[in-house]
Structure 1
Amino acid sequence: MAVVIELPPLVDHHCHGIVRGDLGIASFEAYLTESDAPAASGTTYFDTQTGFAVRRWCPPLLGLEPHCPLARYLARRRELGAYETARLLLRGSGIGTYVVDTGLPGDLTTPAELAAAGGGAEREIVRLERLAEDVAETCDSAEALVEAVAEAVHAASDTAAGFKSITAYRHGLGLAPEPPPPGEVRRAAGTWLAARRDGGTRLTDPVLLRHLLWTAVATGLPLQLHTGFGDPDLRLHHADPALLTDFARATAGTGADLVLLHCYPYHRQAAYLANVFPHVYADVGLALTHVGARAGAVFAEFLELAPFGKLLFSTDAYGLPELYVTGAEAFRGAVREVLGGWVADGAWAAADARRVAGMVAADNARRLYRLP
């Protein structure tokens, strides 16, 4: 007998804004992949697990049949307009709270705009590297930069739900785990400011990246860390969360929690870290969206080692409201397949399955980010 596992309104603990305007087929397709290049000649990113998931789950929310032809779906999207499309899709996703990383560039909706369209609540995640780069625009000395960054992080902590770092992109996760000495930080700040005057902008210095991480840890708020796959700016083997083992050990007892984002294909390593370090959490988002119909298998692998109170749902949706829908549906399908299957096999009690589903869907994020 099939087991019904109802989920509460989801807390999407890591997501991004969506584009405000209408999209053509090429610009729409670009958001279905982590690649920064067009699909190879004779192929399309619509022929992916993500593309198929969009055509399965999104058309019914716009009044069309599942798996309808792509041209018909995009025509309906244009007919409704960007805002009404976003409103229908977001409100049909089952997401009630959006915890939004505001560090991406572009004309994207703010957290408040996203939540208004979705009929939900919102909180902000502040991206450390973007914050430091913005602050650097106003500084003319290393001392001023170090002081201004500290003040900016402290000010952000008054309203933000947490912080995020993309150290995995900028250097890799194999950083020295301890806080850098103040003298090293000032020297690195001076070198970076000089490089900026010569046209450089991105923060890639490992000393400054470590300093940012420890500055965020000092606030006591959760610190999200990109791990696992991403766009080609990343070197995948430098994004293995196991590289954070010493940092996790060094931050134990500080009062700040570490949240390992995405994780795939290293999700078993992330689950291990969540198992052995009480302040480490793991995120099932992005991975489930991109593996599509295989979401149940990946979700089950997360559950092999990770304590159930340490796993968090997210979509990592960016640009398209469709990605909120597909991320949420991939998660719901994985819950039905995996937890429902374990109940049917007698391995789990139905009450436990429902309780764990609610924890991962919303309760863990509400506790971690101190959400109402």
Structure 2
Amino acid sequence: MGSLSSLRQLIQTHPLIDNHAHNILSRAAASDYTKYPLEQIVSEAQGIALTNATSTLPFHRAAFQLATLYNCSSYDWDQLKAARNELVERDYESLIRRCLEGTHALLLDDLLTDQDVEPFDWHDRFTGSPSKRIVRIEAVAARILSAAVREHTVPSQSSGLSTFQALWETFSQDFSLRISEAIADPAVVGFKSVICYRTGLDVQPTDDGDAQRLLQSFARTISQATGSTPRVEDKPLNDWLIRQTLDLLQAAKAIQPNKPLQLHTGLGDNDINLLRSNPAHLQSLIAQYPDVDFVLLHSSYPYTREAGYLACVYPNVYLDLGEVFPMVSRDAQESILKESLELVPTRRLLWSTDGHFFPETFWLANKQFRDALEKVFVDNVMNGDFTIEQAKQAAVDILFYNSSRLYSLNERPRSETALVSGAGSLSHASPTDALEAFIQANPDVKYIWMQFIDYTATVRLRIFPILEFAKIVRGQRRIGICVALLWMLQDDTVAGGTTTGQFYMRPDLSSLRRNVGIDSRSASATVMSWWKTEDGEPLEECPRTTLLNITNILRDEFDIETTCGFEVEVVFLKPAVSPSTGEEEDWAPIITNHSWSQMTRETRRVLPLLEEIAEALTSVGIYLEQFHSESSPGQFEFILPPDSPVAAVDTLIKARQVIACVAEQHGLRATLYPRPYPFAAGTASHAHVSISPPTKEAPFLAGVLHHYPSLVAFTLSGDASYDRVKSGIWSGGEWVTWGTQNREAPIRKISPGHWEIKSLDGLANMYLAMSAFLAAGYAGVKENRPLTIKDCRHDAATLDEAERSALGITTKLPTTLPQSLDALASNETLQELLGSNLVKNYITVKRAESKKLNAMDEKTRRKWLIERY
């Protein structure tokens, strides 16, 4: 199933793991073209030979493509460099972010140089997952030699070979220790050798017992060692470094995650011996170490076929397709890909950029590789060599999954949930292709629930047979919803507005997940929906659209990427039966011998339920980070993974549904009610929000704090919410403030640009709550608002007025819903950012809801809310 267009789109947009790259230049060095010629992005040549690179086909192609990156109207190299200089000066990090767009993870050989480059973990701000380290073994050896030269008197070679024995023993022990430490280091996922540059790939499988020959090699090397990083290039010693690393890797294979050895092969600059860079020289070594995986880097060009043969006949050999993009022409790139596919299983082909120094090396490599992969794979499909689905699988394996498996990364693209789990499809695929893929992975699903969340946070839905739903996806029919929903309460009462007119639901296939926990016989799935106008435009009052819009303007105006993650707190209740009537009249906690993060005798009885919930969530691609008991009787917390704001809220809603459904199968109620018991802590729905880069955290936080009394109208959206906002019960306190790791502040700072929102519970429409928080932060950044409230390390309620004043703490949180709604009604900034109609309708609904609930007695109101939330 599928189409060529879906294959093209997949190849061009699927996240990738770059399995071999190097550090990017710091901003101070990024335009130092004397030291780092920009021409090196398309050539391995150096010195005078590099001047000829500007007349090559790869260079002209790169210049044409860079003009689009720099938004430059000229392809003249000097003008391109001038445009680049302006970008570097204005916003270097934005250029890097653009160049690394689509990169999920970087595996960095960060020992290429320690000068003028950004540190290893600095690169994490631009990728979807933290970088991992590839350890260059010759650099390790050089550093040990350098230390030995500084700390010991090195004998002269004329003084006799035996005088080097002690130094050799120290060196060999230190080298083995450093490699062993790296093998045990979880940040290290592999090793690399550049022996190809030094003494060639004809590594001797053994030293033939010639210890004296090895000692002589070491003596020559250490005697010639000068400078801070001496060059290790004496064959017996270099061969020993390889063998010793392989011995240690093979010995650790049984107890450590797989950590391959990468070897530079083929193409290189002028200090390489081209004949000895042929990977065929490695055959006997590969055969000697069957338990170690070898990665032949850089397509082994021009020896791609030889490398392909090794990857075909040895199961421990992988071929990396990097560096030739963008170093060779388009025709050569496509030819290299075709040669790689002649013999090599697609599950043993890896992608890398060999990006280094200039961020453009990453951008050009990724762009040109995707283009070549698309051309070759489309041709293969049209020639009948691949089906579309086979080509898709091969593409995502090469771009992502092969590296994830080989390096034991256990990564999954953020934009993807595995089809095999029934969790949906690629968010970047077309809706039709995404639905086809979902159906193929879940042939038993017969019904789709199209869900939408109203302003009372009530989840509403329409159910469609799968064939009818397919018509909606293809645009053959539309589903209209009466606009009265914009003023509707939980019991369908309409609080004003009009009953004339409608809007239309449009499913978001990225949120499509099958239903679990309801009943083993259920053949249904859920999908979230956008609200559209008659003309198909986004409806201003749509909560999901509101959150997407504010996320986009933060990115578009300030290059701020936002991430959200939620903690689901629930209290498990059992029906309380009246002894006189035998009817259910209330709810009671399932356990009472219970406290925070403790495993009591009663808690252990609930463990099967908790594990069933965790397994149900995993089955639909929601991978809990942890779960544990909370403070209130029968209360537990499930921590969800972070994601982009809309996707994170989608996941929250699905997770809550799964938790509630599994509980129902056991005759229980999982409630989000803010404070079920006046004698215990309440139930929140804390959110974690991160902005990247965190450079704007001060004005962002200042904006949030300035608008906090208004935005809590969305985060504490019911009268019952304010019963939880009390000092001393871990609810975030009573004052508008923030504090580093302060759990009695409404906003707990966790790290730069990363906060936890404490004043938030399960009655909130979370799309609107997060929209309000991000909108307030956006306003602060736009106004460059100063952060006048200082870091508070205490519960502000325990401070006296002078102490609070010294910290800039002057405003109390609203203590009732009417107070927060009044603050919102007078807040023109939030109304403008969120949409005046949305805010107006929301206030109308919440005031009507409050009136309805306050007309009930306390017991009836509590039961009414528990049964709905």
Q: How far does the alpha carbon of each residue in 1:250-303 deviate from its partner, in whole angstroms, 9 at most, with x for none?
A: 111xx2101111100001100100001000111110123212322222111111
Matched, 1:146 2:175: no
Q: How does 1:123-202 map to 2 (within 5 A)?
A: 123-139=132-148, 140=152, 141-159=167-185, 160-178=188-206, 181=209, 183-184=211-212, 185-196=214-225, 201-202=230-231
Q: CA deviation at 1:206?
A: 2.1
Within the candidate set 294, 298, 313, 1:258 is matched to 294
2:245 corresponds to which letter in structure 1?
A
Q: How does 1:354-365 map to 2 (within 5 A)?
A: 354-365=392-403
Change in Cα spacing, 1:30 to 1:88, as seen in structure 2 (3 Å) is: closer
Q: How does 1:63-102 map to 2 (within 5 A)?
A: 63-64=71-72, 68-81=75-88, 84-85=91-92, 87-92=94-99, 93-102=101-110
Identify which range, 99-108 or 263-272, moves more after superposition: 99-108
What are structure 2's unaligned runs of at least 5 residues?
153-166, 254-258, 411-869
Contact 2:142 2:229 in 1 (8 A): no
Q: How far does the alpha carbon of each residue in 1:135-164 deviate from its partner, in whole angstroms, 9 at most, with x for none?
A: 112334111111111111111222311111
Q: How far does the alpha carbon of each residue in 1:166-220 deviate from its partner, in whole angstroms, 9 at most, with x for none?
A: 1111111112123664835455434432333799932122222222112222224
Q: CA deviation at 1:18?
A: 2.0
Equivalent in the alignment of 1:121: 130
Equivalent in the alignment of 1:271: 308
Contact 1:125 1:163 in 2 (8 A): yes
Contact 2:146 2:225 in 1 (8 A): no
Contact 2:146 2:229 in 1 (8 A): no
Change in Cα spacing, 1:102 to 1:24, as seen in structure 2 (3 Å) is: closer
Matched, 1:336 2:379: no
Change in Cα spacing, 1:44 to 1:191, as seen in structure 2 (3 Å) is: closer
Equivalent in the alignment of 2:361: 323
Q: How does 1:107-118 map to 2 (within 5 A)?
A: 107-118=116-127
Contact 1:59 1:73 in 2 (8 A): yes
Equivalent in the alignment of 1:28: 38
Contact 2:42 2:62 in 1 (8 A): no
Contact 1:162 1:224 in 2 (8 A): yes
Equivalent in the alignment of 1:14: 20
- Partners of 1:328 and 1:146 in 2: CA distance: 40
Change in Cα spacing, 1:13 to 1:197, as seen in structure 2 (3 Å) is: closer
- Partners of 2:226 and 2:68 in 1: CA distance: 52
- Partners of 1:118 and 1:45 in 2: CA distance: 31
Contact 1:285 1:315 in 2 (8 A): yes
Contact 1:241 1:270 in 2 (8 A): yes
2:379 corresponds to which letter in structure 1?
G
1:334 corresponds to which letter in structure 2?
A
Q: CA deviation at 1:361?
A: 0.6
2:78 corresponds to which letter in structure 1?
A
Equivalent in the alignment of 1:368: 406
Equivalent in the alignment of 1:281: 318
Q: CA deviation at 1:347?
A: 2.0
Change in Cα spacing, 1:348 to 1:198, as seen in structure 2 (3 Å) is: closer
1:222 corresponds to which letter in structure 2?
P
Change in Cα spacing, 1:161 to 1:46, as seen in structure 2 (3 Å) is: same
Identify which range, 90-99 or 126-135, moves more after superposition: 90-99
Work out which structure has the larger RCO, using CA pairs closer than 8 Å and 6 or more positions apart in sequence. 1
Q: CA deviation at 1:329?
A: 1.1
- Partners of 2:389 and 2:145 in 1: CA distance: 52
SS in structure 2 at match of 1:137: helix
Identify which range, 287-296 or 311-320, moves more after superposition: 287-296
Matched, 1:228 2:228: no
Equivalent in the alignment of 1:247: 285
Change in Cα spacing, 1:194 to 1:200, as seen in structure 2 (3 Å) is: farther
- Partners of 1:287 and 1:312 in 2: CA distance: 13
SS in structure 2 at match of 1:138: helix
Within the candidate set 239, 249, 252, 1:210 is matched to 239
What are structure 1's unaligned runs of at least 5 residues?
none
Contact 2:62 2:326 in 1 (8 A): no
1:19 corresponds to which letter in structure 2?
L
Q: CA deviation at 1:3?
A: 4.0
After the TM superposition, which segments of 4 or more aligned residues of structure 1 sit over 6 Å from their partners?
Answer: 197-200
1:352 corresponds to which letter in structure 2?
Q
1:16 corresponds to which letter in structure 2?
H
Contact 1:142 1:193 in 2 (8 A): no
- Output the aligned Cα RMSD: 2.5
Change in Cα spacing, 1:232 to 1:298, as seen in structure 2 (3 Å) is: same
Equivalent in the alignment of 1:48: 56
- Partners of 1:288 and 1:241 in 2: CA distance: 19
Change in Cα spacing, 1:57 to 1:10, as seen in structure 2 (3 Å) is: farther
- Partners of 2:120 and 2:228 in 1: CA distance: 31
Change in Cα spacing, 1:199 to 1:68, as seen in structure 2 (3 Å) is: closer
- Partners of 2:137 and 2:173 in 1: CA distance: 15
Contact 1:14 1:314 in 2 (8 A): yes
2:272 corresponds to which letter in structure 1?
L
SS in structure 2 at match of 1:81: helix
Change in Cα spacing, 1:86 to 1:44, as seen in structure 2 (3 Å) is: farther
Percent of residue pairs identical? 28
- Partners of 1:37 and 1:87 in 2: CA distance: 31
2:400 corresponds to which letter in structure 1?
A
Q: How far does the alpha carbon of each residue in 1:298-325 deviate from its partner, in whole angstroms, 9 at most, with x for none?
A: 1111111111111110111122111101
Contact 2:109 2:134 in 1 (8 A): yes
When normalised by structure 1's length, the TM-score is 0.90
1:297 corresponds to which letter in structure 2?
S
2:342 corresponds to which letter in structure 1?
E
SS in structure 2 at match of 1:360: helix
Equivalent in the alignment of 1:311: 349
Bigger Rg, which one? 2
- Partners of 1:80 and 1:272 in 2: CA distance: 44
SS in structure 1 at match of 2:329: helix
- Partners of 2:16 and 2:40 in 1: CA distance: 26
Change in Cα spacing, 1:122 to 1:314, as seen in structure 2 (3 Å) is: same
When normalised by structure 2's length, the TM-score is 0.40
- Partners of 1:180 and 1:189 in 2: CA distance: 16
Contact 1:90 1:325 in 2 (8 A): no
SS in structure 2 at match of 1:38: helix
- Partners of 1:198 and 1:309 in 2: CA distance: 43
- Partners of 1:39 and 1:164 in 2: CA distance: 28
SS in structure 1 at match of 2:270: coil
- Partners of 1:178 and 1:223 in 2: CA distance: 18
